Structure 1
Amino acid sequence: MNLLTFRATRLMALLALSLAVSACGLPRSGPNKTELYKSSVTEGGSAHFILVDSRVSKLAGGTPALGFSSSFKNAGRVGSDTINPGDELSITVFENVKDDPLLGNTGQRVSALESVQVDGEGFIFIPYAGKLQAAGQTPDGLRQLITSKLDAQTPDPQVTVQRVAGDGQTVSVAGSVGAQGIYPIERPTRTLSAMIARAGGVAIEPSVAVVRVTRGNQTGQVWMQDLFANPSLDIALRGGDQIVVERDQRAYTALGATGAQSLVPFESQSLSALESLAQVGGLSTTLADPTGVFILRSESASVANAIMGRDDLRGSQRMVYALDLTAPDGLFEARDFQVRDGDTIFVTEAPFSQWTKAVNAVTGTAGAADSLTSIGSSD
């Protein structure tokens, strides 16, 4: 047998062995396009396959809208001179009598009531004036009320009322801020952005920061970037508000022939399919099929009906959005299609990748066998 015939015979043997190895099932990152399409409803499966275009991107995309309800937005700022439950007041009464003052001892014309606490219901107690509603009033209004109550018992009393702004009106600031803690609502910190600044600002990237405010049984949240860009979102604070700054919790799963296979957090408010692929290192140059990029998602019936031009779908629908990056507008469509929280991005392997794996497996085995034969011959 001449050398040419020997090489041809060996090549044929390698090809046959490669086909046999390939048929045995080599390791791979997931189903190929043909296998994936078998899950389509047209093939008896449960998923709707949709080729992404500009219309689909518009209907299926969108960043979750965050914001505050009207009850948050319409709440006016706490006045710096408004008395609130929990405030401490300093009240002084000057009496125009020497021998028998109403509040002080004999010869004492000035009576100072230090640290008068406004109770949880907004009341204070003043001797001879009784229980008075203080919360909601200004110091001057409370002064007039106390004066009117004492006037009938001591001649022409002169009353002063002082309040330390912010005492009793506090908010809690927690999460990813410079200094977590309880802070009073004072004149410079009566709005959300000012209070966050008072707490040292955000300690994470503003692009992924979400600010949540809980007031009673209501909760609202806003993107940190939107808070600075839109003044209407910079709500006035109320005593007892709970402010939490946290990282955006949204994430997607990247699988298949990508640079990395993992659960990936969002790095911005909006994230396109192209950006999401870039986050995981792009497509594997040795394995990926750029015509087989899929986004798997559970879609609401309303969105699914709109995309498919139907009105009979009910309940959550399994949708598979298909992208062909080699198409004339493929990269633009991938740039425009918005990934959402919980999506799975799957990139199929190119058809030749299994053949390449099979050849590498066979040639690697053959090379090892040749090495062993060489070692045996040298002995």
Structure 2
Amino acid sequence: MALALTVLSACGLSRTGPNKSEIFAGAVERGGNAQVIYVNDHVTRTANFAPVYGFSNSFLGASQIGADEIRPGDVLGLSIWENVDDGLLTSLGSSSTSLQEIQVDSGGYIFVPYAGRIRAAGNSPDELRQIITERLSAQTPDPQVSVTRLAGNGATVSVMGKVMSQGVYPIERPTRTLSAMLAGAGGVSIEPEIAVITVKRGNEQGKVWLTDLYGSKSNDIALRPGDIILVEEDQRSFTALGALMGQTRVPLGNEIINATEAIAMVGGLSSALADPTGVFVMRDEPESVASRVLGKPVYGSQRMVYVLDLTRPNGLFLARDFLIRDGDTLYVTEAPYVSWNKSLAAITGSVTSADTVATFGD
């Protein structure tokens, strides 16, 4: 027996990770580099926050663009009829002429012979028709003008990422909003609960959950030419380790999850192993949050170890109120009797093995 105890003291028994005393030994008060804090009502109030996605006022306040508005990059076609035999633009014996593929320049202008340089951008085809007609009327009697849009390269958006059909799409009357454009691209190709939509416009960008896009009309923003729409799978997750029924990386999706739910998501505590007084949530806390939790100023991000004792009278309520965040590690220690049972089993096994060897020797 003495030999077995010596062997056990030299060789560590297998276990799921550090025990409670080893974690507490890493506290700042004991020379470590982690802030070990028992969760109470103050901690749940100061440490809890959920990531909020959304669009800025400039996105939310943008009105829908007119589907027929001319923009830089558009290609126009002009047809002009003159009420004379030998007109300004028509050839002898012809009463009309066509000017095809007139591209609106980057400043928004086009050039029309005898009418000069005309600002086309911002006008509808009919408004541009009236402007050209007025310009030509001073030089030819009763001109008739027709303006058509041949291509609308200036009014497009790019849709990329986890959609059924990536590509460049024109902003048309049915697809002037974000949700309509996504539908025009065939919808998302991933589960809606984990889809995040990012819209980039110039130097700005906004982000929203797909479920929030359909759940709130204000998030269904009007699109602008040149917008880039990116659909991605949410990557937020936490890691569950220790004396739990499952040890794995768990995606958070767009849910707000508390510690009780996080434990349930991996099957709960292991009844054969877990110590309900040793439930730990480990994270790097930003300076502002850490200062509020600790009640004193600290500098730089802090390694925080939040302790949940589920056996306390309000332990389950505190676990229910404590939110899990992206990158958290949920760790549950083994109960002290588990280590004792392992030690006893190892000793018993060693003695039994020795007796078995002695029996074979005889």
Q: Same fold (TM over 0.5)?
A: yes
| Alignment size in residue pairs | 361
State which of 6, 10, 27 in structure 2 corresponds to 1:40: 27
1:333 counterpart residue number: 318
For 1:284, what is the secondary structure of its paired residue? coil
State which of 98, 119, 140 in structure 2 corresponds to 1:154: 140
1:17 deviates by: 5.9
Q: 2:354 and 2:170 mapped to 1: Cα distance?
A: 79
Q: CA RMSD in A?
A: 2.2
2:183 counterpart residue number: 197
For 1:29, what is the secondary structure of its paired residue? coil
> Mean alpha-carbon deviation: is it higher for 357-366 or for 35-44?
357-366
Q: 2:323 and 2:67 mapped to 1: Cα distance?
A: 45
State which of 268, 272, 293 in structure 2 corresponds to 1:307: 293
1:79 counterpart residue number: 66
2:327 counterpart residue number: 342
Q: What are the ranges of 5 or more consecutive residues in structure 2 without an aligned counterpart?
A: none
1:291 counterpart residue number: 277
1:146 deviates by: 0.9
Identity of aligned residues (%): 55
Would the aligned equivalents of 1:81 and 1:165 in 2 still touch at CA under 8 Å? no
2:228 counterpart residue number: 242
Evaluate the alpha carbon distance shift between residue 17 and residue 198 of structure 1 in structure 2; reply closer, same or farther with a 3 A threshold. farther
1:272 counterpart residue number: 258
Q: 1:18 and 1:293 mapped to 2: Cα distance?
A: 32
Would the aligned equivalents of 1:210 and 1:246 in 2 still touch at CA under 8 Å? yes
2:303 counterpart residue number: 318
Q: 1:166 and 1:152 mapped to 2: Cα distance?
A: 31
The letter of the residue matching 1:204 is I
1:205 deviates by: 2.0
Would the aligned equivalents of 1:80 and 1:165 in 2 still touch at CA under 8 Å? no
Task: Tell me the TM-score normalized by structure 1.
Answer: 0.88
The letter of the residue matching 2:50 is T
For 1:196, what is the secondary structure of its paired residue? helix
1:29 counterpart residue number: 16
After superposition, residues 1-379 of structure 1 pair within 5 angstroms as 13=1, 19-24=5-10, 25-98=12-85, 100-163=86-149, 167-310=153-296, 312-372=297-357
Evaluate the alpha carbon distance shift between residue 18 and residue 196 of structure 1 in structure 2; reply closer, same or farther with a 3 A threshold. farther
Q: 1:366 and 1:97 mapped to 2: Cα distance?
A: 119
For 2:346, what is the secondary structure of its paired residue? helix
Q: 1:253 and 1:77 mapped to 2: Cα distance?
A: 43
Evaluate the alpha carbon distance shift between residue 234 and residue 290 of structure 1 in structure 2; reply closer, same or farther with a 3 A threshold. same
Would the aligned equivalents of 2:5 and 2:347 in 1 still touch at CA under 8 Å? no
Would the aligned equivalents of 2:74 and 2:149 in 1 still touch at CA under 8 Å? yes
For 1:319, what is the secondary structure of its paired residue? strand
For 2:138, what is the secondary structure of its paired residue? coil
Q: 1:156 and 1:73 mapped to 2: Cα distance?
A: 46
User: What are the superposed Cα offsets for residues 139-194 of structure 1, whole Å, 9 maximum, x if unpaired?
Assistant: 22211221122222221211122236855311111111121111111111111111
Would the aligned equivalents of 1:123 and 1:135 in 2 still touch at CA under 8 Å? yes
The letter of the residue matching 2:180 is A
Evaluate the alpha carbon distance shift between residue 18 and residue 291 of structure 1 in structure 2; reply closer, same or farther with a 3 A threshold. farther
User: What are the superposed Cα offsets for residues 78-103 of structure 1, whole Å, 9 maximum, x if unpaired?
Assistant: 111211122232322111012x1221
Q: What are the ranges of 5 or more consecutive residues in structure 1 without an aligned counterpart?
A: 1-12
1:330 deviates by: 2.1
Would the aligned equivalents of 1:165 and 1:187 in 2 still touch at CA under 8 Å? no
User: What are the superposed Cα offsets for residues 57-78 of structure 1, whole Å, 9 maximum, x if unpaired?
Assistant: 2221121111111111121111
Task: Tell me the TM-score normalized by structure 2.
Answer: 0.92
